Amino acid sequence: MNVNELHELVEQRLDMRWNEFTEEHPQLAAAIDRVQLIETSVERLLDDPDYHQAVQSAGRDQAMIGVAGPVIDLVDRWVGRLLGI
């Protein structure tokens, strides 16, 4: 999985929770730079050894990694921690 694919995955998973967060905290959500939020998330995930382990355990098939459970779980955990959801 390359950085662009991870970027897309983080964006996708963040989008799924962003609306919920926006409903709860509209003014704070408006003040947050989403692009920066995604970029920082990608950077932190790339620094996380758990992420690399998850990618490895997802197997060698590059096409499958993007939809592989361990990677998505990790990204979801990260996004959830980030948005407090």
Partner 1 sequence: MKCASRIVPLSAAVWMCFLVGGCSTPSSVPLLVNVAGKVIQQEQQHLSDDSQRLSQWYTQQRSALEAGFNADLAARDQLDADWVAQGARVYVTAREMLLEHELQTKRQIELRQENLRLAGESLDRAAIVLQQQDQLLWSATRLRQWIDQQLENSTHTETTP
With CB under 8 A as the contact rule, the residue among 1, 68, 72, 82 that binds partner 1 is: 82
With CB under 8 A as the contact rule, the residue among 27, 60, 61, 63 that binds partner 1 is: 27
Stretch that binds partner 1, among 6-14, 28-36, 46-54, 59-67 (CB under 8 A): 28-36
CA distances from 63 to 8, 19, 33, 38, 45 (A): 14, 29, 30, 22, 19
The answer to whether 74 and 50 are in contact (CB under 8 A) is yes
Which contiguous run of DSSP H or E holds residue 8?
Answer: helix 3-24
Site for partner 1 in 34-63 (CB under 8 A): 36-37, 40
Minimum CB distance to partner 1, residue 31 (Å): 4
